[in-house]
Structure 1
Amino acid sequence: MLGQTDFKPVTLADRAFFERHYALYPQTHGDNTFTSMVCWNHFMHYQYAYVNENLILSCTAGGVTRLHPPIGPRDPALMREVIRLALEIGDDNKPLILIDPETAKWMKKVDPDLLLVPDLNHFEYVYRALDLAELPGKKYLKIRSQINKFRKKYRHLIEPITPENRKEIVEFLVKWCESKKCEENYTLAHEIEAVSYAIEHLTELPLRGLLIRVGSQVGAISLFERLNANTALIHFEKGLPEYEGIYKVINAETAALLVNEVEYINRESDLGISGLRKAKLRYHPHHMVEVYSLKRQTCFPYII
């Protein structure tokens, strides 16, 4: 019987294991990536179990534990075990999360009584790389105008992020955090810790990055990786607010670098933040990575 003792913490030392498994079962959602897990471990406390060639992820935030569905060969008995454990240890109304559409359909075949609901706040935005790089047509006119304005106004350079400029990026993150008052924002405080971890462990993770140097100082950064065969994933994108339009420039420069490598760019979810949702919709996503959650029902004795 699957239990909590079958799980162990996700650590940097597990990178090779995750890469081997995801080579067999490519992921489409950024939250499942090894990079996301280790960078956010201070907050999400990720654990994993490997059972019957399936990877099962668990995360605990704010004292609430949630499970992800098994990643591997379809195994109805194991799926029932995961559901049972999720309902047993999860205090949340949605104890099983990040269920992709195909897995959701399969789960309904395993048990038609399961209540699976769309988790809109964790739908991820996916764009054509060519659209983000070239910003074609009238729908991107305003964004192109803002980029051109930035390029005319500021002397700037585009550089790759390397161990050599890591110290400058740490200094940039301090400035960015001060501008956003991270100490007063619970979410940003955790996010800056995640970005800092990514920079500190840059060479130990499958990350690449770009920075924009305005004059002599770093004004913006992006950190990204290959998610699967045709998609790149943008993990972090930060810019100093005094440089108007800099977010749009780092977005376009990152896409210009990736456009010859992948067809799509995943820019993650909006977490239900209305301003972030508007910003992501402004770039006209090609499609969304949909995910579902198992909703706990009032009368739902799921004991296998």
Structure 2
Amino acid sequence: MLCQEDFKPVTLADRAFFESHYALYPQTHSDNTFTNMVCWSHFTQYRYAYVNGNLILACTTAGVTRLHPPIGPYNPVLMRALIRLALDMGDDNKPLILIDPGTAQRIKEIDPDLMLVPELNRFEYVYRALDLAELPGKKYLKIRSQINKFRKNYLYTIETITPSNREEIMEFLVKWCESKRCEDDFILSHEIEAIFYAIEHFIELPLQGLLIRVNSQVGAISLFERLNANTALIHFEKGLPEYKGIYKAINAETAAVLVSEVEYINRESDLGISGLRKAKLRYHPHHMVEVCSLKRRACFPFIT
């Protein structure tokens, strides 16, 4: 019923298909977004199959392929076929990933012996947009203080990202990458490539953006999109380190734009990076987007 030959690459030309399907089945995790898939295609090759009204994603990184659960009307036969395909593919220890709690429950109903494990590094942080925009109360006192210092120390303006400032943003990204020594950092070297792609194809993607100019020069940017009816997703947020407090400022300015449109802002996962986790926790998330993976056993049950 389901095999690897059913999958084809995700390309820019598929945007309308993904948007129409996700309008029926809204997403909560950034990894499933069309923007994420095309921007990171240099690092992870994404393919998809459309079976019985369900969208199924396959992602291949460093030669290892993993599958995502079906997105569409629940079909237990298809779910069994997907689990079988995942377990039959390759040697990866976790062949089926990004399983949300509802889907996890259905998988357990199919076979209680299947091992599902939480993927903490893939949990995504979701905040109240109003909290990020207004930073109310004592728990945000330090962040407000840092933003106030930024506003006092620098002459800056806010601007939306458009094709007219694209070249300036590219120059900013080169400068940011040099300051971070991206070539020496595995994650940053791939992330900068994804950001360049996003800017180059800004009009072709469902993106919006904001930038901060300090003394007329681009000092920070944020790229975001509507994830679902009540949530926006921040894909990228970068600032030059010489401007103290600029990350706090671009965060707040972005939230101020989004607060009238959505209730929540998803700021993605921490990738298991300790410093990033601490930074995200300082903003006091409202909730997390929790996911788990199907873990392969030495001997796994036969799924029919």
What's the TM-score bracket when you normalise by the shorter of the two chains?
A: over 0.9
**One-letter code aligned to 1:8:** K
Instruction: Confirm or deny: 8 A CA contact 1:65 1:91 kept in the other structure.
Output: no
Question: Which residue is 1:51 aligned to?
Answer: 51
Alpha-carbon distance, 1:59 to partner: 0.4
1:75-224 map, 5 Å: 75-224=75-224
Q: In structure 2, what is the Cα distance between the partners aligned to 1:142 and 1:177?
A: 28
TM-score w.r.t. the length of structure 2 is 0.99
RMSD after superposition: 0.8
1:74-116 alpha-carbon deviations (Å, 9 max, x no partner): 1111111111111111421111000010111111111111111
Query: 5 Å matches for 1:54-69?
Result: 54-69=54-69
Contact 2:40–2:194, Cα closer than 8 Å, also in 1:
yes
Quick check: 1:11 aligned with 2:16? no
Instruction: Return the alpha-carbon distance in structure 2 between the equivalents of residues 111 and 194 of structure 1.
Output: 38
Q: Bigger shift: 201-210 or 294-303?
A: 294-303
**2:277 maps to what in 1?**
277
Q: What CA distance in whole angstroms lies between the structure 1 residues aligned with 2:271 and 2:13?
A: 29
What secondary structure does 1:280 align onto? helix
Provide Cα deviations, 1:6-65, integer angstroms capped at 9, x if missing partner. Answer: 000000000000001001100000110000101011111000000011000000001111
* Aligned-partner Cα distance in 1 for 2:245–2:11: 37
Q: Secondary structure at the match of 2:112?
A: coil
Once superposed, which parts of structure 1, at least 4 consecutive aligned residues long, lie more than 4 Å away?
A: none
Instruction: Tell me how far 1:168 sits from its aligned partner.
Output: 0.4
Residue deviations 1:186-205, cap 9 Å, x none?
Answer: 11111000000000000001
CA distance in 2, matches of 1:57, 1:207: 21
Equivalent in the alignment of 2:28: 28
Across the two proteins, how many residue pairs are aligned to each other?
304
CA distance in 2, matches of 1:261, 1:83: 38
Give the distance between the partners of 1:51 and 1:275, measured in 2 at CA. Answer: 41
Does the 8 Å contact 2:224/2:232 carry over to 1?
Answer: yes
| Ranges in structure 1 where 5+ consecutive residues have no aligned partner | none
- In structure 2, runs of 5+ residues without a counterpart are none
Contact 1:101 1:290 (8 Å CA) reproduced: yes
Aligned counterparts of 2:158 and 2:91: Cα–Cα separation in 1: 47
Identity %: 81
Q: Distance in 1 between matches of 2:85 and 2:71?
A: 16
CA distance in 2: counterparts of 1:221 and 1:202, whole angstroms: 13
Question: 1:303 Cα deviation (Å)?
Answer: 4.8
Q: CA deviation at 1:125?
A: 0.2
User: d(CA) in 1 for partners of 2:121 and 2:91?
Assistant: 20
Distance 1:239 1:213 in 2: 10
Alignment check: 8 A CA contact 1:159 1:210 kept: yes
1:255 lines up with 2:255 in the alignment: yes
Query: Tell me, what secondary structure is at the counterpart of 1:125?
Result: strand
Write the distance in 2 (CA, Å) between the matches of 1:51 and 1:212.
44
Q: Distance in 2 between matches of 1:170 and 1:249?
A: 20
Equivalents in 2 of 1:196, 1:284: separation in Å?
30
Distance 2:72 2:120 in 1: 25
* Deviates further, 104-113 or 124-133: 104-113
Aligned mates of 1:143, 1:301 — CA distance in 2: 51
131-140 vs 75-84, which moves further: 75-84
